[in-house]
Homo-oligomer: A and B are copies of this chain.
């Protein structure tokens, strides 16, 4: 049997040859009759690992660069800091817990289920304390939601700054949660008519208190204890965290300790000195809870260059909206002169990540890559300049402007802005 080199010509077939050029070893071997496929290799000559090797497994050693990373200069210490999901290296929509970003205000605490307590008090008929085991006795729901830090892309307000999708857009993850609707526990304690807001705090030293209007609490907020099938990870709030679909991650209180029913909001440190949007005139907008429609091309990107020459390639990325489902994503390769509708991997789900693909025949020329998300409310992701017109340059949070990657002829990409 002979393995023939792919003939030039037909578009799809042509690329194997060009790929060969880009990956010399493989290409040369393939042209000559590639020993990696024609000869018996070491891994086919003996036994591999048995089923007792890893009772709980980790990624293979060759994927050791697909990890959470932080940005040293971003915050003073790593305790009250944040790290970033390696979205440039992921595909699909689910984020594995192991590399899903973390944000702590006083670090990830270590708490046993047996020691867990949740208090519901304030303007209620009957104040109650629940153990973990108590919570497991209430009817559960399961939903996939994205969790995005309000500061995601925050470093980009002043201009293109961080060179990688992991750093510009990696304060996000997307998991399948199992938990109890908060409305169920509120019914259990009986909210008094004057109770219009909740104040929620965590068990950690920071407590990270936030105010949540009753309408949202009664809508889709969950007390979650499972993510992607298993118990929450320590760094994501084990054993119980709040899930506040579509709203900024800071409100998704981890290690949730108490929920106080109140007549009004507390205006705590976490919702006044932080998590407000300072405008051009120096005043600040508060209660900007919802994460508006946003998207980013994850590959190619600075950490995920094009490894081959001209020919067929896949452009892929993520889109999401805190107001509902993504209905459409447009992609441009020329900085916005022409837009093409991307292919959604599956129909957009409300408040969850949507994966998009654009299958492109690359001519090898430079590209200015951008993606633009549309959600079910008709909202269209704005440019960064459109955002600045409204918000000025003093904001940190809620930057959902269109991202630009400048892809060079050699396949490398760079974070830039165009105007």
Copies in the complex: 2
Q: Which residues of B contact A109 (CB under 8 A)?
A: 43-44, 48
**Which one, B52, B56, B83, B142, contacts A91 given CB within 8 A?**
B142
Q: Which residues of B contact A115 (CB under 8 A)?
A: 36, 41
Q: Which residues of B contact A97 (CB under 8 A)?
A: 57, 96
Chain A contact-residue range equals 35 or more
| Contact of B188 with A19 in the complex, beta carbons under 8 Å | no
Q: Which residues of B contact A188 (CB under 8 A)?
A: 12-13
Which of A91, A308, A313, A343 has the most chain B CB atoms closer than 10 A to its own CB? Answer: A91
Cα A68 to Cα B4 with chains together (Å): 44
Q: Which of A127-135, A274-282, A365-373, A383-391 binds B?
A: A127-135
| Contact of B126 with A13 in the complex, beta carbons under 8 Å | yes
| Contact of B114 with A205 in the complex, beta carbons under 8 Å | no
Separation in Å of the A268 CB from the closest CB of chain B?
16
**Which one, B58, B137, B343, contacts A19 given CB within 8 A?**
B137
Q: Which residues of B contact A83 (CB under 8 A)?
A: 51-52, 55
Q: Which of A192-200, A228-236, A243-251 binds B?
A: A228-236
27 A-B residue pairs with CB within 8 Å: A3-B127, A3-B129, A26-B132, A30-B131, A36-B117, A47-B107, A47-B205, A48-B79, A53-B108, A55-B68, A56-B67, A57-B99, A57-B234, A59-B231, A60-B110, A62-B112, A90-B229, A91-B142, A91-B226, A92-B177, A93-B229, A137-B313, A138-B312, A139-B314, A139-B359, A140-B316, A140-B357
